[in-house]
Amino acid sequence: MPRAAVLALLADHKADRPLCFSGLINVTQPGLDSLGFQLAEVHTDPEKMAAAAATTPRLFDFAAAAVPLDMCVEAELLGARIDFSMGGDGTRLPQPVDAIASSATEMVLDVPRDPARRGRVPVVCEAIGILRRDAGDDFAVGAWIPGPFTLATMVVDVMGLVMETRTAPDAVGRLLDELTELLVQVALSYHEAGADFLTIHEMGGSPGFIGPPAFEEFVLPRLQRLLAALPAPRVLHVCGNTNAAVGLLASAGADALSVDQLNDIARSRAQLGPSQVLLGNIDPVEVLSNGTPSQVRSAVSQALAAGVSAVWPGCDLMPQVAAANLRALVEESHQPRPNPRPAGG
């Protein structure tokens, strides 16, 4: 049972065979086409969101589905204007139109009371309930939230925010503290709606982007607080080159770490030891979206040989990923291998 296998991996670090799944955005154009949906219409309708998310495990044998299908739920909740690409080419994920403030110093958060009942959070919760009801044991249901620094980059001008980590660290810290509390409430609402596991997607606050010292000062304490407030199993995904900082990532307290294609898996496995669940790290653009099935198979084989506990795309899937590449991703993940590495090492 794929759901049981995912939960066993995240809870006990054990798996009978390598799994292929993701706790990040993994809706695809082939999946949408099978339903006759446009990408822009699935973000505000819980039935369509659930149906679209389910196509990835149903059509391609991923071991989990995940919602929401865009990164903007919390930013919209805080007042950001979101472009859902209703008039675009139909393959672009929603994104904020502009920042709410130019700096953390100027940012005045208007956090609604009871955010679980505001904005699109109830839509996501209802979609989780539908998925959990319909999935049974066929696949696990994941839900995800952005990390505090990533959310900050969506409501505050990025350059101003990064500059203020040096010029106004107290203001940045206060903003991140408020965002952390909001994210705790949103994530708990997803858990209560029926999510089997929760993923924190700290893309903008990666030590590969802001540097390990800034990560340790501004991001790590908030991730620790956030993860401590959430029920297991919890996955932390961090983008960018994290080779020099995997120890910091592990100290955040997640049950599993997910890394992207810039991470040296063998090096990380050696640093983390055999018990850490390590997920990754197939390039979602150059390999999965732009590559061939042969290139996908090679990347999967290399990731498993290097020590991943389960195969994950290195970040959100590009919606226009080819169906043949997704099938190659899963099929290669499930290939028997001599002397297979245990899930945790």
Q: Output the DSSP codes for 117-152.
A: GSTTHHHHHHHHHHHHHHHTTSSEEEEEEE-HHHHH
- Work out whether strand 140-146 and strand 64-67 pair parallel, antiparallel, or are unpaired: parallel
Q: Give the start-to-end residue ranges of the domains of the chain.
A: 2-333
| Residue 180: how many other CB atoms lie within 10 Å | 20
Q: What is the pTM of this model?
A: 0.95
Long-range contacts of 37-42, Cβ-Cβ distance < 8 Å, separation of 24 or more: 38/90, 39/69, 39/85, 39/90, 39/91, 39/92, 39/93, 39/319, 40/84, 40/85, 40/86, 40/88, 40/90, 40/94, 42/69
Q: Find tokens 């006990």 and name the residue.
A: 12
Q: Give the alpha-carbon dihedral of 203, 220, 191, 86, to 10 degrees.
A: -20
CA–CA dist 255, 252 (Å, integer): 9
Average pLDDT for runs of 10 along the chain of length 345? 94 82 97 95 97 98 98 95 74 87 89 89 98 97 98 94 94 97 97 98 94 96 98 97 95 97 96 94 97 98 96 95 97 77 47
**Residue carrying the six token digits 């989780």:** 128
In whole angstroms, give the CA distance from residue 279 to residue 344. 10
**Domain 2-333: CATH class, spelled out:** alpha beta
Pairwise CA distance, residues 316 & 33, whole Å? 19
